[in-house]
A and B are shown apart, each in its own frame.
Chain A
Amino acid sequence: MLAASLVWFALLAAPSPATSTEFVAIPGGEFRSTIRYAEEDAPRHVDGFAMSRTPVTVAEFEAFVDTQPQWRRDRVPSLLADRGYLANWQDADRSGIDGDAPVTHVSWFAADAYCKSVGARLPDWSEWEYVAAASPTQRDARGDATWRARLFDDGTPRGIDARANAVPNAYGVSGLHGTTWEWVGDFSTLMGDADKRGGEDGDRLQFCGSGGLSFNNRDDYAVLKRVALLSAMEPRSTLGNLGFRCARSTP
């Protein structure tokens, strides 16, 4: 009921009909992240924005590669994508696989470029987490232990949104808890990177003394798994089960 009236369509300038992306308006609100940010324990306000209803598909990404051939796997610089980039495609410009499936084997750089090409951007982690907290019936379903337990299967073919009978969440957004993980725009600001490892031992010990305190909810293993995954990524990395979707700030 709340989502239907908020759906709006954005037909894009790209040449192929495969690139029509449907965005859903997400009303802003207060949200207590599972992750505790430095010096900030209170719920934070997430501004209203729009998120694509589904993950970017293989067909949509084929159309993107057509119009921006510098993102073909045989042309992309290795600085921007690792060797796994689109490695599951039959050819550099044609996937030969299900066009409706979420595109995977894409780097953060490529995902970022795709979203820009449709006049959008990657969602921030806080936006992603905010929308992904919704079940089909509740905008914040994190108190529903049964629903939350199913999220352990995120990133696998058993994910709740990978099922044939999966329905959109309370915002009208689909596929957030499916077979594929999703990039977020600010993943690198969320996570420690290789440069931080092994350094600053004093601080490390200090925090180890209060281990786990940086998660507001240390039982939220689905989010913890997702954070662990994203923390392992570099912007040029690709994975067979990592895709993305786009977002737009509200004008």
Chain B
Amino acid sequence: MIRASRNLLHYALVCALGFGAPLAVAASNNNAAPPTGAPIKAVLTAPPLVPPATNRNAPANVVVDLEVIEKEMRLADGVTYNFWTFGGTVPGSFIRVRQGDTVEFNLKNAHDSHMPHNIDLHAVSGQGGGAEATFTLPGHKTKFTFKALNPGLYVYHCAMPPVGMHIANGMYGLILVEPPEGLPKVDKEYYVMQGDFYTEGKHGDAGLQPFSLEKAIDEHPTYVVFNGSEGALTGDHALTAKAGETIRMYVGNGGPNLVSSFHVIGEIFDKVYTEGGSKYQENVQTTLIPAGGSAIVEFKADVPGNFVLVDHSIFRTFHKGTLGILKVEGEKNPTIYTGQQSNEEYAPAAGKGGH
């Protein structure tokens, strides 16, 4: 008979989860009071959409229902992948609550899932960010409750072993904990999340592409994309705005490996809430988003044009997929940007010859 130590194996699993629960920070006095009133069911949205602001001046009891769904979806033109998802999309459904809210979190694992899953929300102060409490078999549902102590934009992800594989297959998303006063009003809000994918075939190889553990360990992704697939934010799926509108992007990086140098070509971020926290930097060109981290970027779309979302580790953009478009329509404003004003030959310096 096996004399395995159940403790040892259990610890191995727990360790593999990569627990790193955030430190509990005392909530401000305004939010220490327990919420009152009937529970509110959280509105969840698929990317690139964001749920409406909570518009509440007091904490509430909020119920979040999220289902894990494993499904084959498009990764690029002619390429599919067996994604594991929170809510059927990559990244998973966007969750929006308010600081001080008491959140009842219900995780379902679809009946046709092939293995158990769980969720570690970086917004949770507690063991495993909820991972242990949501260890969920296929066809089962689990529940735990947490208080949203700290405002910020947080990543959530599956933490079942092997964790890297669950994240590499798309099991991540964002949860926003609004500060009590809410975030300043803007005209448009979008949800963008980068992820790296590792397939056995090369970039562009057609058909259902299996996960490559070797490439994942070597950190050599085949695809690096926004919102789960190449082209998720281009063509008919481009983000849109009108000139003069203010735009806020909730930007996450699911990883599992790469750090993102997030940049929008032709724009300057008026504000960046660095690492998804409470303080903002102003007038930023490119912001670093760690794997398992986030940033909130805000800017005014001053003039019309196609503004390109990239990871400025730029080979990823042109060879692996990190390219999205923000299409801004409206009146040109030559006092800000003229477009090309001339294009002509210039005279060579004397004696140097022509071209």
Contacts and interface: CB of A to CB of B under 8 A. Distances in A.
Contacts of A190: 2, 4, 6, 9
Contacts of A37: 2-5, 8
Contacts of A196: 6-7, 10
Size bracket, chain B contacts? 35 or more
Contacts of A200: 7
B210 interface: yes
Contacts of B217: 219
A207 B19 CA distance: 12
B213 A239 contact: no
A192 B16 contact: no
Contacts of B82: 156, 158
Interface string A190-224: 11110011101001100110111111000101001
B114 A221 contact: no
A214 B12 contact: yes
A232 B116 contact: yes
Given A224-B16, A225-B115, A239 B5 contact: no
A95 interface: no
Given A152-B211, A186-B2, A189-B4, A233 B16 contact: no
Given A40-B3, A149-B200, A149-B213, A232 B12 contact: no
B106 to A, nearest CB: 17
Interface string A233-251: 1000101110000000000
Interface stretch (B29-37, B157-165, B172-180, B226-234): B157-165
A227 interface: yes
B15 A211 contact: yes
Given A153-B210, A215-B12, A237 B137 contact: yes
A197 B118 CA distance: 15
Given A149-B212, A149-B213, A229-B116, A207 B15 contact: yes
A240 B140 CA distance: 11
12 contacts: A35-B4, A37-B8, A38-B5, A125-B2, A189-B6, A196-B6, A196-B10, A207-B15, A208-B11, A225-B161, A228-B161, A237-B137
Closest 3 CB pairs of A and B: A192-B10, A214-B12, A211-B15
Given A207-B12, A211-B12, 8 more contacts: A37-B3, A189-B2, A192-B9, A211-B16, A221-B213, A224-B162, A225-B161, A225-B165
